[in-house]
Structure formats: structure tokens, C-alpha cells
Amino acid sequence: MIQIAKSVRTIYLVRHAESIKNLENIHGGKGDILTAKGIEQLPAIIERIIASSPINSNNSIIFHSQSVQTYETAFRLAENMKLKIVKTDLLNSVYLGKLNDLSDENAKRLYPTEHALMTEWRARKIEIADLKPIGIESPIAYWNKGIEFVSSLVKENNIVICSTSTMIMLTHLLIGNSTLSGGGYKNIPIKNAQIICFNINSEKIFINRINTDNDLMEFLM
């Protein structure tokens, strides 16, 4: 069960801006620097966040994982918004077993069976519980990291720069799905720099439709 501090009002889940590893179609791993396009995506993120909330150093904070692209995204946003950034391993991407840090092309060539299963996941045909055969990190252990992270939040506005897998996990956690078979934990096709915004009101969590990318809403209901 998630325990959320009464001071928390908004959680912005933001997928990092485009990085070189996205162009090379590499999944998992330590990551890479942002592309020129990724850097160009940052002002729109800032504009959307500051338009919806009174952001300042007293009531807001930016979190990121150890990956290069989440750090660079967080650092550049924080520099512009004058906010503190905090690195936490609780936001690290899920470990993908044999497929970790491989390009899609190499994964298909080296591990065709595991790649086929991951392809079904990306097509939303299976749930996270069905990926155990490829040797991914335990979904329950990964989920518990998400619970620990969300429970640690204390600021009014929390900007969380995520990898795809972490953003998907936190989204399912906050909308009330589970890692169990039939729990609804499926892939969400999140693009670089997209935002899913959650508001907390009287300890209830709900999606802020205005500040969430429209093309993601169909996957969140």
C-alpha cells in the first residue's frame, strides 16, 4: 500500500528527452547523452509544468535515476527552473536480463525467443508477469522500489524524470494496477518528453487530464 505525505499535491512523470540510445533502439543499460532534438524538447516540458503549478525551490524538486539521459534531462530542466535535483536508484530502469543494453536488432539475432516475447509485450498482448522467461528483474521487487519512492515524496510538486520502464511502472502503481497476472500491468507507448501528471487530493490519486499527453489517455483508463 502506498503511503503519501499530505504535503504532496502533484507528481509529474516525465519520460527523458530523446537520447542517442533511442536512435540506436537500445533498451535498458546505462543510457546515453541527449540528441540535439532531445535538447530542443526541454523548453516544452518546462512550459507545460510551470503553466500548471506554482513552481519554486521551496515547493518543488526534480528526481532522476542513474542513467545518463535522465540525469541530463533533469540537470537541464533544473538549471532553467532553479530547482534541486536528486538522484535515486529507486528510479533505475528494470533489468532486462539477456536483452539488457542490446539494440533491438542484436536482441533479435542473439536471443530470438526472448526478443519475440518482448515484442509481444511492446504490442500490449501480454502483461509484465508474462516476461519472467526472459530473465527480467523480479516485477514484484521492481514494483516495491516504486512504492518506496512514492512513499518518500514530501514536496508539493514532484517532477520525476523517468526511463520508459520506470514511467510505466509508476503509472500502473499510481492508477492502482498490480504485477499479478490479470492486474492490468501492460506496456504504455510513451514517447520521449511526454508527461503523465497525477494529482493527490484528500489522499486520493487521480490523473490530471489537462497536463497529461492526450494520446496516452486511452492507455490509462
Closest CA to 23 of 38, 10, 13: 38
Report the alpha-carbon distance of residue 42 to residue 19 in Å, rounded.
12
Query: Quick one: angle between helices 36-52 and 68-81, nearest 10?
Result: 50
CB within 8 Å of 95: residues ≥ 6 apart: 28, 136, 137
Q: Examine the pLDDT at 95 and tell me if it is beyond 70.
A: yes
pLDDT tens per residue, range 162-201: 999 999 999 999 999 999 999 999 999 999 999 999 999 8
- Three-state SS at 107: helix
Q: According to the CATH classification, is domain 10-22+33-95+138-219 in 3.30.60.50?
A: no
* Strands 85-87 and 60-64, bridge-based pairing: parallel
Give the residue extent of every domain in the chain.
Answer: 10-22+33-95+138-219
Q: Tell me: the pLDDT tens digits for 1-56?
A: 688 888 999 999 999 999 999 999 998 888 899 999 999 999 999 999 998 888 99
pLDDT mean across residues, the chain: 93
